Structures are given as C-alpha cells and as structure tokens.
C-alpha cells in the first residue's frame, strides 16, 4: 500500500483515538476537536520533511483530519442536547465520511492504478497485456515544462547537439532495487570521462526530488550506482550529466512500480 494512503488513514485513526482520549480526561469538546485535528497534522508535517509529496496531497490530509474532528465535535453537541438528530446534520456527516474515503481511493489509484481485475474488466486490454490506469500527473508551468517528460526524439536531438551517445540501462524491472548504468561515448565511440552523473527520483507533479543518487565512475565513460526506489507506484527517473559544474544533459523517463 502507498505511503500516502497509510498516512491518510493512519492520521484519521489518530484523530479518532485522540478525541476519545480527550473525552476520557474531560476536555471541552471544542478543545478536543482542535487537538485531535492538529496533533496528527503536525506529526504528518514532521514526517514529510525532506520528501515533499505535493501541495494537493497535503491539502487532502488537512481537509480530512479537520473534517473528521468537526464531525466528532458535532456528534458530541447533539448527544448533549438529546433527542433525535435532524437529517441535515446526518447528511453533512455522511458527506464528510464519504469524502475521506473517496480521497483515499483517489490517492491509491493515482499512485498504483486500479486493482488489476477491476482495470481489466472496466478498461479492457486489446493486447492482453497489463492495464495502466494510474494518473500521469502534471509538470510545473515553467520554461522546462515541455521537457519534464521527454520523448525519445527529443532525447536523441539533445545527444546529437551535445556530441555524446548516451545509453542508460538498469531502470527497467519490477522490484524496488535497481542497478543503474550510464554509458557515455563521443561521436567517435570513445568514452567520455570526467562527467558528474546523478539520478533523481520524484513523483509526478512534485516540485522537489524525493531521492538523489550520485552515479560514480566505474570505468571509462561508465557511471553507475545502486538505487532503492522508496515505494511502489509511478515515478519520474531523471538522469543528469554535468561537466565542469555545468549541466550538459538531462533525460526523464517514467517508471511504473507494481
């Protein structure tokens, strides 16, 4: 299961537990709701330091945590008043509960796609191969937006302009551990030495990479390293080659980790 789904529903459970503890120590209902929403949110902010998941994911966590605390506060008020609850508050609470479940489902589908049996039954597969139903994500609207997810044609064009022939291997596979190799040759086929190479991993739509792995020079023109992908789902793997402290080449490809 994706880490985002775990943090979302784990924080939701934390809100429920903290509100129950607040009732045991007889805190005021409004204070219980505020603390039950704030404490899991603060813990989540501490957890995501260094690997920003994207503003949309953070906004979902904020809305779910505080919406749950609000529903619990409303239930407490109606229990104190006694009598039957009107259908409007019931409908409002059901809406927030359904919204939390829906957001969690969207986050799971965005990173992992639909479960394979559902994907095949709903979307079908003409070739009999796997069905990819995860969201492709977005890229920032800046001058590099058009090259964030590069095509093979643009990759070859950059190689020709640079005068290098670059071959990247080791990114394909189904496991979380990859042994990446980058071979750099010039137009005459000789190895290109003195290149600073690194591999960056980030989620589609994220503004900062979640993992940066330096690729050391293993042989003449060959750079490589072991890469452990943090979790399953969709990733953007960006190979960056620099020389004399100037970025000379970058290429991004999408990985699908089951």
Average pLDDT along the chain, 258 residues, taken 10 residues at a time: 74 90 89 92 88 79 86 80 68 76 74 69 60 51 43 56 82 85 88 90 82 90 90 86 84 82
Nearest to 258 by CA among 226, 235, 228, 238: 235
pLDDT number for residue 132: 57
* 70 close to 96: Cβ distance less than 8 angstroms: yes
* 124 close to 131: Cβ distance less than 8 angstroms: yes
pLDDT number for residue 149: 44
SS3 at position 53: coil
pLDDT number for residue 140: 45
- The pair of structure tokens assigned to 115 is 């479960």
SS3 at position 144: coil
pLDDT number for residue 131: 56
pLDDT number for residue 199: 92
SS3 at position 238: strand
pLDDT number for residue 182: 92
CA distance 242 to 164: 12
CA distance 117 to 119: 5
Inter-helix orientation angle 55-81/3-24, to 10°: 30
pLDDT number for residue 73: 86
* 233 close to 111: Cβ distance less than 8 angstroms: yes
pLDDT number for residue 129: 55
Alpha helices in the chain (DSSP H): 3-24, 29-47, 55-81, 87-112, 116-123, 152-162
pTM of the predicted model as reported, rounded to 2 decimal places: 0.44
pLDDT number for residue 82: 66
pLDDT number for residue 96: 73
Q: Which CATH number fits domain 145-257: 1.10.10.10, 2.60.40.1930, 3.40.50.2300, 3.40.640.10?
A: 2.60.40.1930
């Amino acid at each position: 299961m994706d880490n985002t789904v775990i943090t979302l529903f784990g924080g939701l459970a934390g809100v429920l537990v903290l509100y129950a503890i607040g009732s045991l120590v007889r805190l005021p209902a409004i204070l219980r709701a505020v603390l039950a929403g704030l404490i899991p949110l603060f813990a989540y902010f501490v957890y995501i330091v260094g690997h920003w998941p994207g503003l949309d994911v953070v906004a979902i966590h904020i809305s779910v945590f505080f919406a749950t605390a609000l529903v619990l506060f409303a239930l407490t008020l109606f229990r104190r008043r006694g009598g039957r609850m009107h259908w409007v508050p019931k409908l409002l609470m059901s809406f927030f509960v359904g919204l939390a479940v829906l957001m969690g489902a969207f986050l799971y589908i965005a990173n992992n796609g639909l479960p394979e049996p559902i994907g095949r039954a709903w979307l079908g597969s003409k070739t009999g191969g796997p069905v990819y139903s995860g969201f492709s994500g977005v890229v920032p609207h800046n001058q590099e937006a058009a090259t964030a997810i590069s095509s093979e044609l643009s990759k070859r064009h950059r190689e020709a302009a640079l005068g290098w022939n670059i071959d990247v291997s080791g990114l394909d596979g189904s496991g979380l551990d990859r042994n990446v190799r980058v071979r750099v040759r010039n137009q005459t086929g000789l190895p290109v030495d003195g290149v600073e190479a690194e591999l960056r991993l980030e989620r589609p739509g994220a503004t900062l990479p979640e993992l940066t792995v330096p690729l050391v020079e293993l042989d003449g023109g060959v750079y490589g390293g072991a890469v452990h992908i943090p979790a399953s789902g969709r990733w953007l793997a960006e190979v960056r080659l620099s020389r004399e402290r100037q970025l000379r080449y970058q290429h991004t490809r999408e990985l699908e980790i089951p």
